[in-house]
Amino acid sequence: MILGTYFAMTVFAAIYSFATLIGGLSDLLKEFVEPAVVFSAMGLFTLSSVFSGYIGSGPSSSLETADEYVIMPAPVRPHQLLLGRYVRRLVRRISIAAIVLFTLAPVIMTDWPLFIPLLMFVLSTLLFFEFNHFLGGVTSQLKTRVNARTRSRLRYMTPFVVGVVMLLPTLGQVVPDPSIILIVPSNVFSMLVLGLAGIYYSGISEEVAMIFLIMGYFIGLLTLANLCDQSLYESFSAANSVKESESRVGRIIHGSVDFSDSRFSDPMAWIIVKDFWSRMRAPFQFWKYVYFAVGMSLVLWLNVAEPPWMAPVRIPPQLSVSAVPAFLIMLVVLCQISSMNAMVSFLDEKDNVYLLKASPFRRTDIVLAKYLGSLLEGTISFLPMLGLFVYFFHPQGSFVYLPLAIPLVILFNASGVMIGSYVPVLTNDPENAPIAMVFSFPTINLVMGAAIVIVVNTFLKTEFLLLVLPVVVTLLAALFLCLSVIALGSFK
């Protein structure tokens, strides 16, 4: 999938000048973006991190159940355990950043002056988000220490004090030039991003701003590590006990209740609604629906207004042969990305998957409910991406392949449900899929996508395609769902 994206970006870089697009965006941002608004917005983002850390479980959320039985009783200090778990988080973030830079390498090589600004933007974004993660952890640890010292109602002022200290230096009404206060990472990050975009220049170079951002990152990390004590373990144990003693509303959301008490008479509707509310508790699920609304609105506006600074890619005729394969590859990749939710449809149930199996619901209804819910979620994720992709990149002869998105989404979600259903069959951990199964999901989908593309190319100008493709897609989807039903009856 990554190599396919790399190839598609290679084709895009050969046919489109990204420097022109970036220059147009810079001019547009200069006209509509006020630097003071950006400084205040980043300050509000930091403020939200403070309150989310105070309300949430803080740094204990990075711990695992195995730590409670193995590492916590060992002679390991709390800050050592925290730093060890954070290294894993940091490696994951760096890996994602490296993948982003790798896929954008063809674009970068066409205009090398873009490399340093892009690299600084990726690194500064990573540092700023990690600092806010540390700040939330610091606020959580301060809450624990203040609560241990006093039971006065004034202890609830802790997040407000920390939030005001971080927010006031970012407000233009309080500080005429927030960029001069470099000890606040949100100001440094805003100044750096605005400077890279050519919108605002404070007289401080990007290199100096990056140094201050790195200093803020390490200050936040070391402060959190120094505040960690035995209360870190206590918070983790308390969070686990809360999960084990859920309220009736929580049990309804998870599904571990008497099915006769449900007001949904149709089993499939019951499971779909249950899954919806379970997903809504995830941190970014609400924003997924906001992304759909904003993304579709943006697609409609681009197609109606057709702004000249964001014009579609104009493909030279000599490169049309390479452009169509790139279009097909990206279409398959987008379908694969949007169907990732299908694989975790059974994994999200965790241990409740055994309760779902023992329920009076038919296995067919359970599988179909999981499949339809995943199909709906995948479509919501896919449509904005597809709309933006087709607007910017539609080589001649590519629209005939656009309907391929329908069978691809249908098949990819069906295969995801099948792979997720076999996790409790092949392992004793229904929550975490083995690495081999995780990698088999995109492999199976990419092979199917390539096979469908070959079939379409072979019978493109014949009526036989209208008969072959629906039959093949229906049979494959039915096969995957039947295997899911069989897996549901074979749980360990």
pLDDT band at 346 (very low <50, low <70, confident <90, very high): confident
The residue ranking higher by pLDDT, 291 or 179, is 291
What is residue 453's predicted lDDT score, i.e. its pLDDT? 80
Please state, in angstroms and rounded to a whole number, the distance separating the CA atoms of residues 86 and 82. 6
Please state, in angstroms and rounded to a whole number, the distance separating the CA atoms of residues 328 and 316. 18
The burial of 133, by beta-carbon neighbours within 10 Å (0-12 exposed, 13-18 middle, 19 or more buried), is given as: buried
Please state, in angstroms and rounded to a whole number, the distance separating the CA atoms of residues 302 and 280. 30
pLDDT band at 482 (very low <50, low <70, confident <90, very high): very high
What is residue 239's predicted lDDT score, i.e. its pLDDT? 62
What is residue 284's predicted lDDT score, i.e. its pLDDT? 66
Q: In this predicted structure, which of 31-45, 242-256, 295-309 has the lowest mean pLDDT? A: 242-256
134: its two tokens: 């540390």
Mapping DSSP to helix (H, G, I), strand (E, B) and coil, where does residue 440 land? Answer: helix
| Cβ-contact 288, 359 below 8 angstroms | no
What is residue 215's predicted lDDT score, i.e. its pLDDT? 92
pLDDT band at 219 (very low <50, low <70, confident <90, very high): very high
Please state, in angstroms and rounded to a whole number, the distance separating the CA atoms of residues 297 and 289. 12
- Mean pLDDT throughout 329-355? 81
- Mean pLDDT throughout 254-275? 61
- Mean pLDDT throughout 288-300? 87
Q: Where are the alpha helices (DSSP H) in 306-351?
A: 320-338, 340-343
The burial of 235, by beta-carbon neighbours within 10 Å (0-12 exposed, 13-18 middle, 19 or more buried), is given as: buried
- Cα separation values, 255 from 270, 271, 357, 416, Å: 9, 8, 11, 22
367: its two tokens: 């599988």
Please state, in angstroms and rounded to a whole number, the distance separating the CA atoms of residues 473 and 413. 12
H or E segment at 271? helix 267-280
Q: What is the pLDDT of residues 410-432, one digit of tens each?
A: 999 999 898 888 887 777 777 77
- Mean pLDDT throughout 94-103? 78
What are the residue boundaries of the structural domains of the chain, listed by start?
33-241, 279-488
> What value, to the nearest 5°, has the Cα angle with vertex 240 and ends 235 and 246?
125
Percent with pLDDT over 90 in the chain: 6
- Mean pLDDT throughout 388-414? 84
Q: What is the pLDDT of residues 222-235, one digit of tens each?
A: 998 888 877 776 77
